[in-house]
Amino acid sequence: MNILLKSAKIVCPGNKELHLKKRDILIKKGIIEKIGASVEAPANIKVVEKENLHVSLGWFDSSVSFGEPGFEERETIANGLFTAGKSGFTDIVLNPNTHPVPDTSSDVVFLKERGQGKATKVHPIGTLTTNSDGEALAELFDMKNAGAVAFYDFKKQVSNPNLLKIALLYAQNFDGLVYSFPQDGDIKGKGVAHEGEISTKLGLKGIPALAEELQIARDLFVLEYTGGKLHIPTISSAGSVKLIAEAKKKGLDVTCSVAVHNLFFSDENLIGFDTHFKVSPPLRTNTDCKALIKGVKNGTIDFVTSDHIPMDIEHKRVEFDNAKSGSLGLESTFGSLNTIFELDETIDILTKGRERYQIEIPKLAEGSKACLTLFNPDGEYTFDRKDILSTSKNSMFLGATLKGKVYGIINNDQSTL
């Protein structure tokens, strides 16, 4: 793949020589051959010139679900990776949200093979326990050797604290990353929305922030006892930010993420009972949103994720209580982050995180593999159904005003331009 990018403004806060400079970038056979103020186009090369073209290192998403195997009607791996690439992501961490779940090394190999040869690289997570049933640890070591980047029973609490203790101790033998979903199922009960004024007015069963914070407090105590590497995915409350900040001050090896929709929306969006806004953890208050945004800015929250979960219409076009949780996020992540944060902050958020998963960190330099995202950061637009590339259409961002458009990616000697 040979491409010449013309007059691209480089957004790379960590590279003072190139940051915010307009440059031509020549790419041959997937390698950045030349970066210069003016590069002449060689014969038989694709020249890319776009309105207000900006380029950064390729973007990374730490929480993406598709459907294959088992739920291909929601999303296949092939179309999911195409969607990720058109949305600007060169690397995605794939959740074990399938049927059957990936709890063996052969399952991980299958997922990696299905993603081969695509512009966006897939990095699977294996389950923490066999069948994600919370009873016995899965084949963690074998899955790590097969390419699993972490271990997680998707959106399920680790009910047994001794199981979490054993997992954290065992995973230290091979530098494994253990996930624990922050929600106490007993306190959550049959709740479907944040417990507060809005849920009371709407007559919806509430999920108090206590359900999240109590689980996090327990997990952090276990981590302090065992050591090891713990990741807490998709936190949603101000109290959770405080707990994790305190744990980091103690020196515990803990990271956490937040779903972009928990920064952009609040429980006020539930008025109208639109099931697109039913997610887990739930949308919480504006106060929580502000605390989460502050946590992202000061580094307490390590990653912002799309938490992309395709869901077929049969599970969304039902009563709010009966609808399944989940929203699309890949296509709207850049536009929503770019609305909340300054451009430098947005790109920093989108490009960091690979080191936690031991994924190769790209470089924007001559001689390096081209791992680039192309975009226009300016211009507001209303997110519409036509902007959805996923097979499923369950996006809570429909009708939202977002800022900036993604052109595509160049990665893995492929392009989605």
Q: Minimal CA–CA distance to 306: which of 42, 134, 84?
A: 84
Average pLDDT, the chain: 97
| Sequence-separated (6 or more) residues with CB below 8 Å from residue 102 | 96, 108, 110, 111, 124, 125, 126, 127, 143, 148
Opening angle at CA 400, ends 396 and 405, nearest 5: 105
**Is 365 within 8 Å of 34 (Cβ atoms)?**
no
Q: Which residue has the tokens 């990018």?
A: 5
The one-letter code for the residue type at 240 is S
| Sequence-separated (6 or more) residues with CB below 8 Å from residue 290 | 238
Q: Minimal CA–CA distance to 289: which of 308, 274, 273, 267?
A: 267
As a whole number of angstroms, the distance between CA 260 and CA 339 comes to: 11
Average pLDDT over residues 292-318: 97
Alpha carbon distances (Å) from 13 to 343, 347, 352 = 10, 8, 12
* Catalytic member of 61, 91, 307, 384: 307
Put residue 307 in one of left, alpha, beta given phi > 0 → left and psi -120 to 50 → alpha: left
**Is 366 within 8 Å of 289 (Cβ atoms)?**
no
**Is 331 within 8 Å of 83 (Cβ atoms)?**
yes
Question: Would the pLDDT of 230 be above 90?
Answer: yes
Question: Would the pLDDT of 196 be above 90?
Answer: yes
Name all domains of the chain by residue range, CATH numbers in brackets: 3-55+365-377+403-415 (2.30.40.10), 58-357 (3.20.20.140)
Per-residue pLDDT of 253-262, as tens digits, reads 999 999 999 9
Question: Would the pLDDT of 135 be above 90?
Answer: yes
Question: Would the pLDDT of 181 be above 90?
Answer: yes
**Which band of pLDDT confidence, cut at 50, 70 and 90, is reported for residue 246?**
very high
**Is 80 within 8 Å of 64 (Cβ atoms)?**
yes
Residue 25: helix, strand or coil by DSSP?
Answer: strand
What pLDDT score was predicted for residue 14? 86
Structure tokens at 307: 């938490």
User: Is residue 307 among the annotated active site residues?
Assistant: yes
Q: Strands, DSSP E only, in 243-360?
A: 254-259, 303-305
What pLDDT score was predicted for residue 1? 85
Count CA atoms within 13 Å of residue 50 on its CB side.
21
Q: Minimal CA–CA distance to 210: which of 251, 250, 175, 182?
A: 182
**Which band of pLDDT confidence, cut at 50, 70 and 90, is reported for residue 148?**
very high
Per-residue pLDDT of 315-355, as tens digits, reads 999 999 999 999 999 999 999 999 999 999 999 999 999 99
